[in-house]
Amino acid sequence: MRNSFRFTILAVVLAFLVACSSGPSSTFIITGHYIEVESETEIDSSMEESADNQNVDLSSATFVVTHEVSDANGNTDLVELTSGKFADGLVTLEGEINEPTEVEISVQIGDGVRLSTSALLVPDSEVVEFALVDYQDVYPEDQLILYGASRRAKDPETKFTVYGDVSGVKMKDLSLAIASVDTSEYDENGSLQRVPYGSVLIRDNKFVIEADITEVSSLSISVEAGWAFRSYTPAIIGPKSVVTVVSDGAPNTLMASSENARHVKLIESWQQSDEYLENLQKYVSVWEAKEIAAQTPPSDIDVVQNDLDDEQDTSSDDGEETEESADTEQTESDTASVELNDSEASDGESDDVAEISTPRTAEGCEHVPLEDVIPGLSPFMSASGGFQYPDWVVSRQVLEKMRSDAIDELATNSTNPLNTLLALELGAFAGINRDDTQLALPLYDKITTTLEDEDLVERRVIRPRNELARRLAVKRNDELLQPGQKAPKFSLPDLNSTDVALDDVLKRNELVYVDFWASWCGPCIATFPALREIYSDFNKNGFEILMISIDDTFEEWEEASDEHKLAWINVADIGGFKQETPVAYGVRGIPKAFLVDSKGCILQRELSTDNLKEVLVSRFGIAPESSFD
């Protein structure tokens, strides 16, 4: 009895000490809202009954709030704080905590289907609100997301706040739009990773996002409502920053203002300029005109189009003048664009492109008949020579050009290394179609020697600098590896881990088709049936296919190879586009292939399978048992 009494006293004392050490508990409140989005399409009954689209009554779903607890050994366990169900479209979840606590709010909506979102609970702080968006259509998928505000800051010294108001958007419904604040950063492997700071479902056209940040950074603030509306703005944000975001109504017209001196210098200096604001209003006007035209009944559109045709006929009597005018408009839009790809920017007509496509032959490749080269297929889409961008796109390109020019100048002329870095992160000298991207490299190099924070330099200077250098090398290799040049040598393993050297394959064959692919590349796999026929007909003549997978893992490559039963030589440079072989061959997109002769000289590149067949027939003739018509 005495031992039992002593044990009871000891337990009470321990419980008292624990309670004192953890502080008094305080109440938290979480409110959930059920938002049902009616179907806009008629759903097939078989689809409704499928396993992936079970009829689950989300309006009565049970929500659970949990958080992780760690013991002295570092082991973690999930502890439930509270739970509850919707009643009339609302649920209130209450509990007690004694310190700021990261929690997960989750709901099970069917077999194996679970939605969740995270939140920071602070004792006796504002109510945390979330929404369960129940889409009656198959797409988009249901969402569980914070509603109106995301407050994740734990430390007042590192807290930043973004206030948003998109009530200026009049022509799009943003009741289901999501606002996000994030950035991106290269990891130690050189892969670009998204760094999120918070996302919320916009409520009554407004949102608040709070989070902690320890260093001044370039962040992206975005508002998206599916494909109907997408808009973003950059912002320079650091500890204690307060940013206000508004929209002028059209996509990509978010404007961020802040008292942060770096934000004012690097963004507001051009974004709030009279010239930029004037062009912004032009863009909004033509975009709204486009939206109104899209909502105009077809009969009215026909009348408008007939009027436009008559007006065009009246002003185009001189055919040469009309052609010159069209060319000028195309050139201006190409010059204004900072986001179009290389093939769009060149249109295949510039002197530089012509020089690259017909280079001087390499030593040992003088025999290659460059006049027989067939223009290759590009993995990038390009506009036809007569294509003209709509007015709203041209107006948007003008804004992008103004932004690009301003940021380039700030990066080049800034005497502050952090401001130079921030300008580079905002996009200085960036753009796949630009021919001056290399100008960013010496800026990165200068920053490396002037910024003292070694961790920051590694993460935000050295890694992006090395990735830029790699992409420039790939682009340069792509430009240089034309017919008449030597194919880069390589030796890669097959599925049995046996190394296969290009030189050895060339010695045994007259022509070798070096083809890059991956298990996830649909266009690559679509060529396999035609390649099988070509291989069957011409392999005996000295034609070989040497296919190089750039899958991320051996398992992905092996599984796809087994599935498609590849009959030719099948090797891999596992790891994606950044590996040595795809870099050496300038591979920026796949499929990408080169026809190489026995001397290692490139004869053709990026041929369609029909053109490959044409080349082989010209070289070998058609075998009697040919599968071709």
Q: What does the pLDDT read at residue 342? A: 35
CB contact at 8 A, 517 and 548: yes
Q: Which pair of structure tokens corresponds to residue 31?
A: 């409110």
> What single-letter amino acid sits at 375?
P
Question: Which of 43-57, 220-234, 406-420 is predicted with the least confidence, judged by mean pLDDT?
Answer: 43-57
Which whole number is the average pLDDT over 29-33?
93
Q: Tokens 């289907």 appear where?
A: 113
CB contact at 8 A, 576 and 568: no
Q: Which pair of structure tokens corresponds to residue 323?
A: 């052609």
> What single-letter amino acid sits at 383?
A
Query: CA Rg, the chain, in Å?
Result: 31
Please tell me the pTM assigned to this model.
0.75
Q: What does the pLDDT read at residue 189? A: 82
Residue 309: which pLDDT band, with cuts at 50, 70 and 90? Answer: very low
Q: Which pair of structure tokens corresponds to residue 433?
A: 């179609």
Q: What does the pLDDT read at residue 335? A: 29
The share of the chain scoring above pLDDT 70, in percent, equals 78
Q: Of residues 24 and 339, which shows the higher confidence score?
A: 24
pLDDT tens, residue by residue, 582-620: 999 999 999 999 999 999 999 999 999 999 999 999 998
Q: Of residues 26 and 218, which shows the higher confidence score?
A: 218
Which whole number is the average pLDDT over 164-181?
90
The share of the chain scoring above pLDDT 90, in percent, equals 58
CB contact at 8 A, 210 and 161: yes
- Distance, CA of 254 to chain centre: 19
CB contact at 8 A, 243 and 255: no
The pLDDT of residue 365 is above 80:
yes
Phi, psi of 17 (to 5 degrees): -65, -40
Report the candidate in 456, 454, 475 with the shortest Cα–Cα distance to residue 186. Answer: 456
The DSSP output letter for 456 is H
The pLDDT of residue 205 is above 70:
yes
- The CA distance from 323 to 555, in Å, is 55
- The CA distance from 296 to 308, in Å, is 16
Residue 593: other Cβ atoms inside 10 A: 28
Q: Of residues 89 and 313, which shows the higher confidence score?
A: 89
CB contact at 8 A, 595 and 612: yes
The pLDDT of residue 358 is above 50:
no
In the chain, the domains with their CATH numbers are 24-40+55-147 (2.60.40), 150-303 (2.60.40.1120), 323-347+382-480 (no CATH), 491-620 (3.40.30.10)
pLDDT tens, residue by residue, 235-258: 999 999 999 999 877 787 889 999
